[in-house]
Amino acid sequence: MPLDRWGSALAEALDQSPDLPAFMKDRERRFVWCSEPLARMAGFEMQQDLLGLRDEDVSPAHLAAQYRIHDERVLERGERMVGIVELVRSRDGRCDSYLSTKLPVRSQDGEIVGLVGVTHPVSSRNVPHSQGPPLAPAVALISREFNRRLSIADLARSVSMSPSHFNRTFKGHFGVTPHQYLRRVRLMAACDLLATTDLSMSAVASETGYYDQSHFANDFVREWDVAPSLYRKQYGAMGLAR
């Protein structure tokens, strides 16, 4: 998917934002352009070194699998994935939460030919208020304290809203309720623990804010269409090796 004049101009403009990881992928999920910050996140010094590669070529298998799920929802269904939380492995081995937006790119006849995306670390400093409603503190609170019981009142208080107004605003911006968003964050964290540790299932459930292992397993299957034990069997050795 070659960049046309508009895409090239946008890419040049994004390159002037030194701290914004951004990317473009074709229908096969191969990078056709990326900003310098995104290349550095992937472990490359030069942007062109990432071009033509997929997430599977540069990220731990269990993380790449989650990126693929989100990408395919954009590429196959035309969904606009706004404000999704994805885990990113840094060079020092830590796994940090990033807030990502992925949108479909269509040809003149409406066919989806690729996607564009931007991502940034989840924190009250890094989620610009100009990108939507002032929900950054609530998103940061979910990312930081997903392993404890968080109520709508707690989250609403963090952004100085009433619970009902916060609930409506959050769903209007992210397309899911705060509880659904919190569940997704917990399940992303569970994926990382299953792939990179030998914690028991009950411990993984507890570490990610679940007080009932059965509830955790049911949510995991509903979100990823695979049981936690099978997910660990598929990705565990790879996750520990990388």
Amino acid at 236: G
pTM of the model: 0.73
d(CA 59, CA 43) in angstroms, rounded, equals 9
What is the mean pLDDT of the segment spanning 174-194? 89
As a whole number of angstroms, the distance between CA 114 and CA 78 comes to: 10
Phi, psi angle pair for 17, to nearest 5°: -100, 95
pLDDT band at 131 (very low <50, low <70, confident <90, very high): very low
DSSP-assigned letters across all residues of 29-91: --EEEE-HHHHHHTT-SSGGGTTT--HHHHS-HHHHHHHHHHHHHHHHH---EEEEEEEEE-T
pLDDT in tens, 219-231: 999 988 899 999 9
Q: Over the range 125-161, which residues count as b (16 or more CB within 10 Å of their CB) and which as e?
A: eebeeeebeebbbbbbbbbeebeeebebebbbbbbeb
Q: Is the pLDDT of residue 4 over 90?
A: no
Average pLDDT, the chain: 85
Of the segments 16-25, 93-102, 143-152, 153-162, which one has the largest average pLDDT value?
A: 153-162
Kindly tell me if the per-residue pLDDT of 241 is higher than 80.
no
pLDDT greater than 50 at residue 130: no
Q: Which is more confident, 122 or 144?
A: 144
Percent of the chain past pLDDT 90, that is, above it, reads 50
CA gap 32, 150 in Å, rounded? 40
What pLDDT, in 10s, does the model give residues 41-92? 888 988 999 999 999 999 888 889 889 989 999 999 999 988 788 888 776 6
Topology given in CATH for the domain delimited by 1-121: Beta-Lactamase (3.30.450)
Contact assessment for residue 75 and residue 112, using Cβ atoms and an 8 Å cutoff:
yes
